[in-house]
Amino acid sequence: MVIAIDGPGGVGKSTVAKGVAAARGLAYLDTGSTYRAATLAVLRSGVDPDDTDETTTVVASADIAYVDGVVCLDGERVGAEVRRAGVTAAVSAVSAIPQVRRHIVEMQRDWVRAHGGNAVVEGRDIGTVVFPDAAVKVYLTARPEVRAARRSGDPEVSGNNPCVVARELAERDRKDSTRAASPLVPASDAVIIDTSDMTAAEVIDRVLALVDEAAGSDEDV
């Protein structure tokens, strides 16, 4: 069973996805970190992220893996480095390139296959593109001010003014929702959950109920 959890930044995707995975003993994949690793590879190479051909070549030759909850680049654990400001500033440009997305999506699908086809997968296009046949599709959202407050407490933006963070989130949303390849939109059959006034535990319980419902439906077939 694939459980797809999508949504923009600051809605609680990581916390919820990890909680659901732990509750059901499933593998967990943060697909956003794989795009960040691809972006790090491009930045390290010195290639301009806006150079589509060169960026695609760099990403295609990079060894990007996700091992024990940490993203790796060419055998190096880069979980902390991919969260730095430089990567954050460039990741939208890199991830918007269709050839890059095709390469990374195939890697993500291979990862899930290697885990028996059972995983909680977090991202921005999981239910629409990566796993359109996922048994459970959830799209998390929250009010802008709530998202900004949450994000301002994250390590990579710690100390930033929530107003600045809100502007950055809005710009990232604009880029991701208007890109030609795999735009950030809810799948037509996704369950949309507004996490603004919910605790993480409440959201996790809501998703687990959907998982149990889907599992029960499979057993009835």
pLDDT digits (tens, 9 = 90+) for 31-67: 999 999 999 999 999 999 999 999 999 999 999 999 9
Position 149 scores a pLDDT of 87
Dump pLDDT digits (tens) for 166-184. 888 888 788 888 877 788 8
Same fold, 1-26+119-212 and 28-117: yes
Query: Residue 216: which pLDDT band, with cuts at 50, 70 and 90?
Result: confident
Question: What is the SS3 assignment for 136?
Answer: strand
pLDDT at 179: 79
**Which contiguous run of DSSP H or E holds residue 211?**
helix 200-220
Q: CB–CB of 15/131 below 8 Å? A: no
| Joined tokens for residue 163 | 């107003």
Given 3.40.50.720, 3.30.1280.10, 3.40.50.300, 3.20.20.70, which CATH number is that of 28-117?
3.40.50.300
Q: Where are the domains of the chain?
A: 1-26+119-212, 28-117
pLDDT band at 221 (very low <50, low <70, confident <90, very high): very low
What are the DSSP E strand ranges found in the chain? 2-6, 27-30, 64-67, 70-73, 76-77, 119-123, 136-141, 191-194
The pLDDT of residue 71 is above 50: yes
CATH 3.40.50.300 fits 1-26+119-212, yes or no: yes
Please state the rounded mean pLDDT for residues 191-206: 97
% of the chain beyond a pLDDT of 90: 75
Q: What does the pLDDT look like over 88-97, one tens digit per residue? A: 999 989 999 9
Cα separations in angstroms, 117 against 2, 49, 186: 7, 33, 22
